Amino acid sequence: ELEDYVFCGPSVVFTNILFPRSEFPQKGSEFYQETLVKKSASIGANATILCGITIGTYAFIGAGSVITKNVPDFALIIGNPGKQVDWVNKKGERLVFDQNGLSQCGQFQLKNNLITCLEDD
């Protein structure tokens, strides 16, 4: 499922079965796992998203990344397998935090490795 304003670059792949086997066809909904991409997330070209994953609001997935686990809101993920390298704001710009976890722009708080947006739209 893609929520509103999700961007998917060219050739993004969403899988639907975690362990596909051609010798043992898997039929029926019990074999499929739902994937959720939350509001305004961006997925770069040629990224692969394994099934059963949730990609958080405003998360940013770099081109060619392979996503194998859930992605937090506002996370910047790159690589294979995808690893979080930073946090981004709603425009996709990297966030910088002070020693108290407050972003330089004053709109985000980082606490216990989770981001809180201090200002709503």
pLDDT tens by residue, 32-75: 889 999 999 999 999 999 999 999 999 999 999 999 999 999 99
Rounded distance, CA 7 to CA 44, Å? 8
Encode burial over 99-118: b for 16+ CB neighbours within 10 A, e otherwise. Answer: eeeebeeeebebeeeebebe
Q: Residue for token digits 């859930």?
A: 70
Amino acid (1-letter code) at residue 10: P
Mean pLDDT of the chain: 93
Superfamily for domain range 1-19+31-94? Hexapeptide repeat proteins (2.160.10.10)
Is residue 89 scored above 90 in pLDDT?
yes
Is-contact 42 60, C-beta < 8 A?
A: yes
Look at residue 17 in the predicted model and tell me its pLDDT.
85
Which tops the pLDDT comparison, 116 or 78? 78
* Rounded Cα distance, 89 and 53, in Å: 21
pLDDT score recorded for residue 33: 87
Quick one: pLDDT band at residue 102, thresholds 50, 70, 90?
very high
